[in-house]
Amino acid sequence: MLPQEIIRRKRDGAVLSAAEIADFVRGIGTGEVSEGQIGAFTMAVYLNGMTTPERVALSLAMRDSGTVIDWSATGIDEKLLIEKHSSGGVGDEKITLLVVPLAAACGVFAPNLSGWGLDYCGGEIDMLDSIPGYDTAPSSETFVAAVKAAGGAIIGPTPDLAPADRKIFKVRDVTATVESVALITGSIMSKKLAAGPRGMVITVGSGSGAYMATVDDARELAESMSEVAAGAGLPSVMLLTDLNAFVGTAIGAATEVIETVDFLTGRHRDARVAELTLTVTAEMIVLAGLASDIEAARSLAASRLEDGSAAAHFGRMVAALGGPSDFVERPAHYLPAAGFIRPVLADGEGFVAGMNTKEIGLTLVALGGGRKLPEEAIDLSVGVTDFRQIGDAVGADHPLCVIHARDEAEWERAAARVRAAVQISDTQPPAPGPIIIDRIERRP
């Protein structure tokens, strides 16, 4: 069938067959389907949705656009191969940069296929691209060698691994087609399955800083991904998270790498980041069979964080993928810095009472830290740091955040946008509630 016929059927609300979906995705790989056709298809899916069998077919077709890693001859005990992913959130993707080395320090092997920034949320691959020499699209052999050397490695889709996601992702980023259960399921599950793990833990966010606006939408996405995982024979744990508040204190590429290294080395640890990192890692440890319950797994993870082994594994991952061998010791020496870095004062004194987190994510895109065109190069140095959390005091001595911009004019525009996105109140509101609000476990 011609690509335009398949798009037309989805546009008109039809349920596509697995063969039609496979045909369309195959065409993306061969170049017979254009970027414009991918945009039209993703908008049709965004508007009309997909049934569960269609989502499964999309995930499998996207996985099969490349190869699946075969770990059998690598010497790694395959039951220890567990993946992590985030369904997307403002400030949330850096959790992968923390969890992968921490899980590795606890004995898990964590091969991780992640993504770039997507619309108003950042992406692990842009963060890692800010490290000079780090190869985020290596050969599968180099990826396997890095996982063996460091216990975990984070890369993006490559010409061998989930290549269809690479193309679809770049189009969704700039066509307002991200917030779709079907498309997120296909994107995430194709990458998770291509890396050949034995289980996976995925955080599924909802709220103003996530793609899913409500907890019910997040639950639908979590159920959708866990059904695909179970259908592929894999156990999964989905953790539903509350992303109405900024995760951590920074967004941006280099700026979030600094936050990551500060966390791993103990220089600064945000409480919600710590909660999410330790819980996700503990779930991975239990799935790998290295602890019998979450509490034991959590205390193992906490001790590996404290004794510096997670930071050492991060350093090993960076070196194994081509980055500097002393990166953890001197991150600021290697990372790009923006031209104009200044604190932003809130309009008046008071307490942070709430925030439109999506708007803060869009501010990063406007600063040049996100894409307006597929494949566009972004500025890896810009970002926001030292962001105050809900309940924190702001005023003349307590800036709202620090903006890292290319120049003063861009800083001014971003500062006005961030101020407008944050509500300030005279009375102190309670700090945000727990970041993890529910858990869905499914075994095949």
Binding site for ligand URA (CB under 6 A): 87-88, 115, 118, 184, 187-188, 191
Among 219, 189, 192, 223, residue whose Cα is nearest residue 206: 219
Q: Distance between CA 157 and CA 244 in Å, rounded?
A: 29
Least distance between ligand URA and beta carbon 85 (Å): 6
| Residue with smaller CB distance to ligand URA, 112 or 244 | 112
Least distance between ligand URA and beta carbon 115 (Å): 4
Q: Which residue has the tokens 């109405």?
A: 244
Query: 10 Å Cβ neighbour count for 148?
Result: 16
The answer to whether 209 and 244 are in contact (CB under 8 A) is yes
| Residue with smaller CB distance to ligand URA, 88 or 91 | 88
Least distance between ligand URA and beta carbon 375 (Å): 17
Least distance between ligand URA and beta carbon 184 (Å): 4
Q: Distance between CA 44 and CA 425 in Å, rounded?
A: 42
Among 75, 86, 130, residue whose Cα is nearest residue 112: 86
Least distance between ligand URA and beta carbon 54 (Å): 16
Least distance between ligand URA and beta carbon 318 (Å): 21
Q: Distance between CA 202 and CA 210 in Å, rounded?
A: 14
| Residue with smaller CB distance to ligand URA, 184 or 355 | 184
Least distance between ligand URA and beta carbon 172 (Å): 7
- List active site positions: 85, 165, 172, 187, 191
3 state DSSP class of 22: helix
Q: Rounded to an integer, what is the distance from CA 127 to the centroid of its chain?
A: 10
User: Can you give 360-391 as a three-state secondary structure string?
Assistant: HHHHHHHHHHCCCCCCCCCCCCCEEECCCCCC
The token pair that represents 131 in the structure block: 């490290």
Per DSSP bridges, beta strands 251-252 and 383-385 are antiparallel
Q: Distance between CA 72 and CA 53 in Å, rounded?
A: 30
| Residue with smaller CB distance to ligand URA, 10 or 172 | 172
Least distance between ligand URA and beta carbon 41 (Å): 15
| Residue with smaller CB distance to ligand URA, 84 or 191 | 191
The answer to whether 66 and 162 are in contact (CB under 8 A) is yes
Among 277, 341, 358, 282, residue whose Cα is nearest residue 314: 277
| Residue with smaller CB distance to ligand URA, 82 or 188 | 188
The answer to whether 191 and 165 are in contact (CB under 8 A) is yes
Residues in CB range of 392: below 8 A, 6 or more apart: 351, 352, 398
* Number of residues that this document lists for the chain: 444
| Residue with smaller CB distance to ligand URA, 110 or 424 | 110
Residues in CB range of 15: below 8 A, 6 or more apart: 50, 51, 53, 54
